[in-house]
Amino acid sequence: MRSSSLLATVAAVACALPLTGAFAKDEALAKAVASESRSPNFVARDKYRKPEQVLEFVGVKPTQTVVEIAPGGGYWTEILGPYLHDKGTYYTAITPRAASERAAAAADTWQKKLDSDKARYGNVKIGDFGGGKFEPAPAGSADVVVTFRNVHNWMGQGTAEQAFASFYKTLKPGGILVVEEHRAPADKPQDPKAASGYVREDYTIGLAEKAGFKLVGRSDLLNNPKDTKDYPKGVWTLPPTLALGDQDKAKYEAIGEADNFLVKFQKPQ
């Protein structure tokens, strides 16, 4: 057989084999992201947040126990809730009701969202995170902990070290922590309160390593070179907040959402 024919035969066989490992597509994840049940305002942000690619970087599987810290309005919950519904376990960790009237109102709003569609969210669990209580899920129970754009809040509250310590406690040995945050310039001192909403990547890595984690991955999926990080209202000047309202709105919409880093850590075995 000529070598060209042999190569053609090998290529044909290779194309017929199922995709595996890093090249395998998670059809359940793709379905969750593409669901028509997701909120239109969240779907509109997918071009910035890249949910399928981000969760592929996380390495999440439908059989895992996943904990999301501070889920906000539920952007990720609308994906992870259905994805983990049948075979996995999903915790959303929020500030406990007893912390304040504001926390109680937020907890009511969150519970209302979960109750609004029992078929999708009926199995979502709620853990405690904030208000002096850092118990997002039972100790040693989680395969994965994720948190998106929240480190600056904990720095402002003076609880960042407690937060990362709680992630370490929550994860199983070998478990994965993934953090997304607005990237501060690496050549400028870090404001310990992160008043602008931007945090240096190396600072965040330092917080995780101090808690005992090992850095195992970084991604440039959410890089935005248009973000100059020098705005009147900090990161909230940009979409989706647009803190200046109509003032220079077109300019900030053209920049898009912030330049964000994405880092992955592992709890040692």
Written as one string, the DSSP assignment of 203-257 is HHHHHHHHHT-EEEEEE-TT--TT-----TTGGGGSTTT-TTTTTTHHHHHHH-S
Asked if residue 69 lies in contact with residue 139, where contact means CB atoms within 8 angstroms, the answer is no
What are the structure tokens assigned to 189, written together?
Answer: 């001192």
24 pLDDT above the threshold of 80: no
pLDDT at 106: 97
pLDDT at 122: 94
9 pLDDT above the threshold of 60: no
Superfamily of domain 24-266: Vaccinia Virus protein VP39 (3.40.50.150)
pLDDT at 97: 95
Strands 125-130 vs 133-135: parallel, antiparallel or unpaired: antiparallel
pLDDT band at 25 (very low <50, low <70, confident <90, very high): confident
Specify the pTM: 0.90
Strands (DSSP E) contained in the chain are 65-69, 89-94, 125-130, 133-135, 142-148, 171-182, 214-219, 260-266
The CA-based angle 45-112-237, given to 5 degrees, is: 35
240 pLDDT above the threshold of 80: yes
Strands 260-266 vs 214-219: parallel, antiparallel or unpaired: antiparallel
Q: DSSP letter at 23?
A: G
The pLDDT tens digits for 71-97 are: 999 999 999 999 999 999 999 999 999
111 pLDDT above the threshold of 80: yes
Q: DSSP letter at 146?
A: E
pLDDT at 13: 36
The domain ranges of the chain are 24-266
